[in-house]
Chain A
């Protein structure tokens, strides 16, 4: 029997009809979107702070990146560890999100490319359950 995969943290993202969505918060007072979900709007000019969960845009632009060359502490779990890229993605309206990159060559990542969100396995628990995180992949590869 296959155990359904789970997200690395509940409420971070969801997969609906095969498409991954980051879950953020949107302030109905000023329209600002936050990731991850926030307790309150923190825009100093907003005096009508009321937030609701929102699915954030699935595509964005890669505006910077790095390659993590050494293994982080054990809180970060990844099967078959090897260096990986972390990108900074502009999702629009000023929201810039960090996330691992998928489907890129580590020595030829291009700033400015369009990327799409996906949910990808990080590691497998002892009971066989896959644990997923969110990643961004070049649009053509996603």
Chain B
């Protein structure tokens, strides 16, 4: 049997570049904010699940939860560190959810905190330099950067559905418009289609302002059992669905860092995320039309158009007109990334999926001042990580 799990607290450190704050400090500030939001203290926390980063902290072993408790709460709590690259935050949430749903613990914190290296992300130490290492091959043989992979998808979309450069630009403009009212976002200045189109071409057809940069940031959640949630004065936000998945054979996605795909008919694009979304929706018992806002990984403007279709919100190719008709805005049919998304935050890899769930919590409580979706009751997150990791969470205030 499993029992209901609630989000009691959400907290985040603003996204940006924070050269004077170590990753551990970002982590602690986000956790303290989440605890304050939950009106709990460290003494109440029975477990901490952290998304493991490979960039900073974690003693070289991804022990980010252990590092936090050794710094601030040496009280014997259960620490779990999970890998999942850019999806690690969602997987950490899933782990914490399970620890409470199983009846094992009542209060578990979730953490994703990241300081990203400057410039290109370096290869992990000890990586092979031969054909067994796909990341090595994509660099030496093809010179394929991450934006090149997404751009190949975008070219394909333009060819299939006639998506224009202006439509991609409009998607980026919408993210800035949402972020303008979100004090946690790093890029909050409004842009215009002309400004986006005037930004340098990176990988045709994607331009600089249509591709997310990297940032430093941290986000944390306090999950709890119903007993604890009932003591809170906040609007109760329930974890209605929570799922992780990996990719399916035959998926047509050009998956970083591979050089090829084996494509089979009938297999979803970005199947790891599509599967996680399907599972989370099924678990929550919600239909597409029930979802009031979607927070999803927009590494590029292409993602904003393609992913809602992959998840089944719209027919293939339909998202362009939805966007242009304003139906993806804060007061639209499917508000998309009310936070401003990766395009306005910059990706702080392991922290990003935790931030998505924080954002949904604030939306469902009606606390997302400046970027609130009117009357939001059910929200869904979706994220993708290296290694074909997908994660999705459905929150409900009903």
Chain A positions within 8 Å of B, measured between CB atoms, are: 8-12, 32-37, 39, 42-44, 63-70, 72-73, 75-78, 84, 86, 88, 94-100, 111, 133-134
Contact = CB atoms under 8 A, between A and B. Distances in A.
Given A97-B259, A98-B260, A66 B249 contact: no
Given A32-B262, A96-B263, A98-B260, A11 B143 contact: no
Interface in B150-178: 151-156, 159
B202, B254, B259, B260: most-surrounded residue (chain A CB, <10 A): B260
B1 interface: no
Interface in B110-140: 119-120, 123, 130-132, 134, 136-140
Given A65-B152, A98-B144, A98-B152, A10 B130 contact: yes
A77 B140 contact: yes
Given A36-B131, A97-B260, A98-B144, A9 B204 contact: no
B141 interface: yes
Interface residues on B, range: 35 or more
B306 to A, nearest CB: 13
Contacts of A96: 252, 254, 260-263
A8, A64, A66: most-surrounded residue (chain B CB, <10 A): A66
Nearest to A13: B141
A65 B131 CA distance: 23
B142 A133 contact: yes
B16 interface: no
Contacts of B40: none
Given A8-B140, A8-B141, A36-B137, A66 B259 contact: no
Top 6 closest pairs, chain A to chain B, by CB: A66-B151, A64-B156, A76-B143, A75-B139, A73-B120, A67-B204
B140 A35 contact: no
Contact of A68 (B119, B131, B132, B143): B143
Contacts of A9: 130-131, 136-137, 140-141
Nearest to B202: A69
B159 A64 contact: yes
Contacts of A63: 156
B123 A75 contact: yes
B148 interface: yes
Nearest to A37: B131
Given A65-B155, A86-B144, A35 B203 contact: no
Contact of B262 (A34, A37, A39, A133): A34
25 contacts: A11-B131, A34-B260, A35-B260, A36-B131, A36-B137, A42-B249, A44-B248, A64-B153, A64-B156, A66-B203, A69-B202, A70-B202, A75-B123, A76-B139, A76-B140, A86-B143, A86-B144, A94-B262, A94-B264, A95-B263, A96-B252, A96-B260, A97-B259, A98-B144, A134-B141
B315 interface: no
A142 to B, nearest CB: 18
Interface in B258-281: 259-264
B324 interface: no
Given A36-B131, A44-B249, A75-B139, 8 more contacts: A11-B131, A64-B153, A68-B148, A68-B203, A77-B140, A94-B262, A98-B259, A133-B141
Contact of B155 (A39, A43, A64, A70): A64
B201 interface: yes
Contacts of B201: 67, 69
B95 to A, nearest CB: 25
Given A35-B259, A69-B200, A94 B250 contact: yes
A4 B87 CA distance: 45
A11 B260 CA distance: 16
Interface in B180-200: 200
Contacts of A43: 249, 262
A72 B87 CA distance: 25
Contacts of B25: none
A69 B261 CA distance: 24
B254 A12 contact: no
A51 to B, nearest CB: 13
Nearest to A63: B156
A64 B148 CA distance: 11
A134 B144 CA distance: 13
B235 interface: no
